[in-house]
Structure 1
Amino acid sequence: MRISLLAGMVAGLLLFSEPAWAASSIARAGLSGAMGGRVAAQRCAVPQIRAGSVASLKSFHRAMAECADRFWADRFAAAGLTYTSPEVTITTGSDSVCGKITSNGAQYCPVQRTIAIRIMRHDLGDPFRMNIAHSVAHEWGHHVQQLIGVLDVQNALYWPASDSARALLSHRLEMQAECFAGVFYSATLKSINPGIEWDDWIDAVRRADESKIHGKPRNLAFWQDRGYRGGATGFCNTWTATKSKVA
């Protein structure tokens, strides 16, 4: 859906206090992320990482960014949608164009349409490829949400909402970004050479620490796996999912 069609829909959504109404309306409006059928395998040149080397990690992130950019450009083209690439910044510091980069090592700045990546000390010392790759894949999912209008609607709903409704909206947003990352992996995982089997990776996600913003790890694992096994963005409609699947 074109972002220019969102204004009237947002006004209508704000009449409702129940998050379920908002979620249902987002899905009906075509913002659930459906972009056609299953994706084809994509070959990406993602280099090895040398422990302790900032330059090596920067090269890895740039290669992941090129891979993600090509993947999503193809998906948008197949759906007849306009795609624009985000800016990507990579730093060893904590500052970005939209504030401090949090301890997870990456964030998406929607106004600037920038993915800001911070090289973390633990990644330098013990560079786990899949964990580092995911910082790119997940934030690119947020860029996709920006382009299809989801971030605009979610933001309009978020500020007037109650604390519990805000939490649910945040979880739906983050779960969808996880699912989009899974779709991306379904086409590129072999090239990324993650250093871990998929089932083991999903198990690790499931056992991670819980995040107030992102939600329960078991649900993050569910949506990432759903995107990967489904291999299409149409599997990523978190907006009408039951609360138990996004809480």
Structure 2
Amino acid sequence: MRWEGNRESDNVEDRRDSDGGGGGMPVFGGRSIGIGTIVIALLGGWVLGINPLTILGLLSGGGGPVQVQQQQAPAHRPPADDRLAKFVSTVLADTEDVWTDVFRQGGGNYQQPRLVLFRGATPTACGTGQAAMGPFYCPADRKVYIDLGFYETLKNRLGAPGDFAQAYVIAHEVGHHVQNLLGISSKVDQMRGRVSQVEYNRLSVRLELQADCLAGVWAHHAQNARQILEQGDVEEAMNAAAKIGDDALQRAGGGAVVPDSFTHGTSAQRQRWFHTGLQTGSVKACDTFSSNAV
């Protein structure tokens, strides 16, 4: 991926030298949205395919965002010599440029999210975020959270190496931010408790697949504007999408594949929707909720 020398975002908070925001059991009242239950699913022995943030939200009864009581040092930008943080900051900046243009063309105003780098655990407006959850987006504070150690998991445990696979992860979470701005996330969250858990899982799948498609929309426009793609980059993203499909994760965990428990979509679905966004560059083409077959 061609990224070096491109603009870096001013919206990156580096909390990696903080104390992690305290320990104990996290309590969630708002729904955080993540790329997958990857680390906790593979290492913690949880039932795969169910987002731990969703589970914690149900246990806490849902409701509004939790007021975080922990104190922490003010966030600051990452060091200039931190190559991985520089990469993430550059990818975030590229998503800012793309989505600002897309919203403007649609007559809207894109409000940029912030991206938080942390280690272990950190306070969020959705509760205590933990590295074991993988990267996630909190709609309540409009921030993307990532422990950069996740990229080692993506490469070494899941078999999805490559810088564009890493960029896809960021673009997916920014896709959730776009959904939040468009009011899509809140409509899905309002269905919690109104439909069965199986039906809610199906809505979650459509939400996650749409975020995959929106990641593809970003890649489409970034390529047209800045020619960021190198040979093999698209394959890296497609491979990553395949490795984090619900069916692939359940097989990797040694368990049975249980479609009713899916919350993110199968490998084939995630690949197909990312490819749809990449090929079309159209937000309208990412309407997974109106599609008869996801």
Task: Give the TM-score of the pair, scaled to structure 2.
Answer: 0.60
**Which whole-Å CA distance do the structure 2 matches of 1:230 and 1:44 have between them?**
27
Report the Cα offset of residue 175 of structure 1. Answer: 0.5
Q: 1:217 to 1:74 in 2, by over 3 A?
A: same
- Is 1:184 aligned to residue 145 of structure 2? no
Aligned counterpart, 2:88? 61
Residues 121 and 184 of structure 1, relative CA distance in 2, 3 Å threshold: closer
Match of 1:13 in 2: none
Aligned mate of 1:224, from 266, 274, 280? 274
> Is it true that 1:45 corresponds to 2:45 in the alignment?
no
In the alignment, which of 140, 145, 166 is matched to residue 116 of structure 1? 145
Cα distance, 1:198 vs. partner? 2.0
Using the TM superposition, give the Cα deviation of residue 46 of structure 1 relative to its aligned residue in structure 2, in angstroms.
7.2
Residue in structure 2 matched with residue 26 of structure 1 by the alignment: none
- Kept in 1: contact 2:113–2:144 (CA 8 A): yes
CA RMSD of aligned residues (A): 3.0
Q: AA paired with 1:163?
A: Q
Q: Name the SS for the 2:217 alignment partner.
A: helix
Q: Does 1:198 align with 2:237?
A: no
Look up the equivalent residue of 2:112 and give its one-letter code.
Answer: S
Q: Does the 8 Å contact 2:164/2:236 carry over to 1?
A: no
The letter for the 1-side match of 2:86 is S
1:84 to 100, 111, 114: 111
- Comparing 93-102 with 171-180, greater Cα deviation is found at 93-102
Query: 2:117 & 2:178 partners in 1: Cα distance?
Result: 20
**Runs of 5+ consecutive residues of structure 1 not aligned to the other structure:** 1-42, 48-52
Once the two structures are TM-superposed, the CA of residue 130 in structure 1 deviates from its matched residue by: 1.6
Distance 2:175 2:244 in 1: 20
Q: Indicate the structure with greater helix content.
A: 1
Moved more, 214-223 or 183-192: 183-192
Aligned to 1:173: 207
Answer yes or no: is 1:233 the counterpart of 2:283: yes
1:196 is displaced (CA, Å) by: 2.2
Letter in 2 for 1:81: G
Q: Alpha-carbon deviations, 1:13-70, whole Å to 9, x = none?
A: xxxxxxxxxxxxxxxxxxxxxxxxxxxxxx98279xxxxx992111111111111011
Report the CA distance between 1:96 and its aligned residue. 4.4
Secondary structure at the aligned position of 2:287 is classed as coil
Cα shift readout 1:197-232 (whole Å, capped 9, x = no counterpart): 424642553354525321211101110001101121
1:122 Cα offset (Å): 5.0
* Contact map agreement 1:46 1:191 (CA 8 A) in 2: no
TM-score (norm 1): 0.70
Residues 122 and 79 of structure 1: is their aligned pair in 2 closer, same or farther, counting only changes over 3 Å?
A: closer
The one-letter code sitting in structure 2 at the alignment partner of 1:117 is I
Give identity over the alignment, percent.
25
Aligned CA distance change for structure 1 residues 141 and 100 (closer, same or farther; 3 Å)? same
Amino acid at match of 1:183: V
* Secondary structure of 2:191's aligned partner: helix
Cα separation, partners in 2 of 1:208 and 1:135, compared to 1, 3 Å = closer
Q: Which has the higher contact order (CA 8 A, sep 6+)?
A: 1
Structure 2: runs of 5 or more not aligned: 9-79, 250-261
| Count, aligned residues | 198
Letter in 1 for 2:6: A
